Amino acid sequence: MNTRRKFLKLAGTGVLAAGATSIYASPTMFDAVEKGVNTFSVGMAGYTFKEFTVEETIEMMKRIGVTNLSLKDFHMPMNSTQEQISSIIGKFRSAGINVYTVGVVYMKTQNAVDQAFEYAKMAGVRTIVGAPDYALLPYVEKKIKAYDFKMAIHNHGPDNPLYPNATDIWNHIKDLDARIGICIDIGHTTRDGHDPCADILKYRSRIYDMHVKDVDKASKEGETVEMGRGIINIPEVIETLRKIKYSGSCSLEFEKDMKDPLPGIAESIGYLKGVMACK
């Protein structure tokens, strides 16, 4: 219980700042966290805010104290003009929020790939979180070289045969330009029967983004729960990211209570920041 009390003391500031009222974890859950510096930042995955406007999204992000956002296309449609994109990006920037990437962007045709790269260019980002059809990867590689962007391909677990896990992504990109990499979603990874930490270590050279969440089962039926209430060993994930000196974003994708997600987001961000505070 001493380890749990120590964590709660360290985490308290982060949890209260985020608006959460409780943390759930086993007494020995934090034993594996070793001393280290966090080289990565905390962000939000835009899908979390599917039911909300840009203005409502900004307000929620202000309340939880997170300033990095992976922007989804329901807030900035793929066919937006430069003027429209500049207006939306400007709203986030004026609120102190950094749109660091766009996605997940699905690409089923070469025209969709062209559109995705121009969209990202107009938004002023240099990384796309994407899911291009396998057959399009050679064309994606040409665009990567032309634009000097990165693409982080997102795994979607057992629900989708397209890139179910990081191993599948790696097997399709390992011989392509190194700027084509992986966005590991640790929840979908777990639901697909894989170990997120093992995948982080194995594919560390090509991990360009992270979607973090917790789930209640290591199966297709697994659902998102507040971080710290599920089965993923978040402290071990943090320790592993420290080991590889990951320097990107860990963006929470909260898919529970999507019409009223703020309490769960706050609890999850507070928990995540608390774990990151453990030395």
- Enumerate the domain spans of the chain: 41-266
Determine the pLDDT at residue 269.
98
CATH 3.20.20.150 matches 41-266: yes
Determine the pLDDT at residue 9.
44
Closest listed residue to residue 48, CA positions, set 226, 221, 172, 168: 226
The CA distance from 212 to 187, in Å, is: 7
Determine the pLDDT at residue 18.
44
pLDDT (tens place) for every residue of the chain, 279 residues total: 333 334 444 444 444 344 433 333 333 333 443 456 899 999 999 999 999 999 999 999 999 999 999 999 999 999 999 999 999 999 999 999 999 999 999 999 999 999 999 999 999 999 999 999 999 999 999 999 999 999 999 999 999 999 999 999 999 999 999 999 999 999 999 999 999 999 999 999 999 999 999 999 999 999 999 999 999 999 999 999 999 999 999 999 999 999 999 999 999 999 999 999 987
Determine the pLDDT at residue 136.
98
CB 239 within 8 A of CB 34: yes
Determine the pLDDT at residue 36.
62
SS3 276: helix
Determine the pLDDT at residue 35.
54
CB 147 within 8 A of CB 117: yes
Paired tokens of 270? 């507070």
Rounded to two decimals, what is the model's pTM?
A: 0.87
176 Cα distance to chain centroid: 23
Helix, strand, coil percentages (3-state) for the chain, rounded to 5, are 45, 20, 35
